[in-house]
Amino acid sequence: MSQTQTSAATVLVDHDARKAYDDLWRRTLSKIPGDLNRLVYLASMRDYNSGRYHHAGLEASFGFPAASQALEAAHREIFWKLAQASLEQLVVDLELYVRNSGESPEDLLATWRSLQPYRIALPLSVDPLAAHLLLSNLKLGLEVLHSRRCPPSHP
């Protein structure tokens, strides 16, 4: 069974992985505002080619396997929270993401609407329909933010 196929609950039976997970939350994730920011951060810790998670600080303290498992568990956990969130909650998270990005909201919305980079922010091996729902809600949320900034002109 590959690492990504293992459920987070099973993975974190490992003592070091559990400690790494708690450390990740305490030092990093609790300081990141909003679950969407956390999701993007955790996805950025994953190697595009191998799908393995890397974090220099966690690996130095707990070793690669524990650090990688902790990152994957946290990634899946945040994914499930976002997938279950209402559209309204997701729009609030998107607004938070836009505010914290440091980019101009117009540029960010234009990029996200056209390139849809959030598609690669999902963990591997999650329920495909739950992933579909989250991607669809993100697409709708972006359209909500866009329509609020550029309301359609009425003739």
Partner 1 sequence: MTLLFLAFLVAFVLGWTLFRLSRADRQPSDVPASSSPLAHPSFVAEAVFSPRDWLYIQQESSASLNALFLSERRAIAVRWLRDCLAAIRVVRANHLRQSRHSQDLNLLAEAKLLLRFSYLATLCRCLLFAVQFVHPSAPHAIAQYVQNLAADILPTPEPDMVLSSVAVREVSRQRLG
CB of 4 to partner 1, least distance (A): 12
State the DSSP string of 50-106: T--B--HHHHHHH-HHHHHHHHHHHHHHHHHHHHHS-HHHHHHHHHHHHHHS-S-HH
| Residues in a beta bridge with 46 | 53
Interaction residues for partner 1, span 85-114 (CB under 8 A): 86-88
Q: Which is nearer to partner 1, 103 or 124 (CB)?
A: 124
DSSP state of 123: P
Q: Which is nearer to partner 1, 9 or 60 (CB)?
A: 9
> Contact 131/122 with Cβ under 8 angstroms?
yes
Told to check if 29 binds partner 1 by CB under 8 A, we report yes
Query: Cα separation of 30 and 46, whole Å?
Result: 19
Told to check if 30 binds partner 1 by CB under 8 A, we report yes
Q: Which residues bind partner 1 (CB under 8 A)?
A: 7-9, 12, 18, 21-22, 25-26, 29-30, 73, 76-77, 80-81, 83-84, 86-88, 127, 129-130, 132-133, 136-137, 139-140, 143-144, 147-148, 151-152
